[in-house]
Chains A and B, each alone.
Chain A
Amino acid sequence: DGGITQSPKYLFRKEGQNVTLSCEQNLNHDAMYWYRQDPGQGLRLIYYSQIVNDFQKGDIAEGYSVSREKKESFPLTVTSAQKNPTAFYLCASSDRVGHYGYTFGSGTRLTVV
């Protein structure tokens, strides 16, 4: 079955360390997205990519980095520059237009101690 896989589901890191969250899709979607969700809040867009080797900053890109070397993969690195990285991270994908909605992964809960 086609879908999006995020791994790991739970991630713990020490403050000051970089950490990379994985996102893989087999839906043949062109576009991929990373969102951050804090408790009781909505979704905030971090980065998005419409095509391989190209990506754009979203609303809260500071302290994060991404790459898009393959159509299927869009990893997110949370760097030590991100001041408050503890959150729930959601990856999504869509066709290039996005007019039919997004497909979401099950999320990664990152806790920095």
Chain B
Amino acid sequence: GDSVTQMEGPVTLSEEAFLTINCTYTATGYPSLFWYVQYPGEGLQLLLKATKADDKGSNKGFEATYRKETTSFHLEKGSVQVSDSAVYFCALSVAGAQKLVFGQGTRLTINP
């Protein structure tokens, strides 16, 4: 079946460090890929998405590239801020599957 595997957390970095959160997937069809962010006590917000191979999603300094050959969608940011502290979820959607499949989430903490 369809599945998403994320890098295990928690991840702790200093402000202005480079961030990578790994995400790989298995899908029976041709998926769309997403990154969501969840701040404490809140729901999930869509951070970025990519719908076809080699597409790059970007938002708020975060980027992720849809790599079909390696079935990956790693999240990156060049210089993190304390306000980026949150839980990040990678997810996929396959047309006709009727539901989004989430990874287990990665908790990110940025220290000043």
* Chain A residues near B (Cβ < 8 Å): 6, 31, 33, 40-43, 45, 48, 50, 56, 58, 90, 92, 94, 97-107, 109
Inter-chain contact B104/A104, CB cutoff 8 Å: no
Q: A101-B46, A107-B42 in contact; A42/B93 too (CB < 8 A)?
A: no
Taking CB atoms, residues of chain B closer than 8 Å to A97 are: 95-96
Complex A-B: 5 CB contacts under 8 Å: A42-B89, A43-B44, A100-B32, A101-B100, A105-B43
Rounded to whole Å, the gap between the CB of B28 and the closest CB of chain A is 15
Nearest to A94 among chain B residues (CB) is B100
CA distance A97 to B107 in the complex (A): 29
Alpha-carbon gap, A45 to B100, bound state (A):
9
CB B92 to nearest CB in A, in angstroms, measures: 10
Check A102/B32 contact, CB under 8 A, given A90-B44, A97-B95: no
Which residues of chain A are within 8 angstroms of B51 by Cβ–Cβ distance?
Answer: 99-100
- Are B98 and A42 in contact, with the CB atoms below 8 A? no
Interchain Cβ contacts within 8 Å, total number: 65
The residue in chain A whose Cβ has the minimal distance to the Cβ of B35 is: A101
Query: How far is B97's CA from A104's CA once the two chains are assembled, in angstroms?
Result: 19
B80 to chain A, nearest CB (A): 21
Known contacts A33-B99, A42-B102, A43-B89; is A100 also within 8 Å of B49 by CB?
A: yes
Interface string of B61-89 (1 = CB under 8 A from A): 00000000000000000000000000001
Closest to A48 in B: B99
Which single member of B41, B46, B98 contacts A31 (CB below 8 Å)?
B98
User: Which of B46, B99, B107 has most A Cβ within 10 Å?
Assistant: B99
Write the nearest CB–CB distance from B10 to chain A, whole angstroms. 9
A residues in contact with B32, CB < 8 Å: 99-101
B102→A43 contact, CB < 8 A = yes
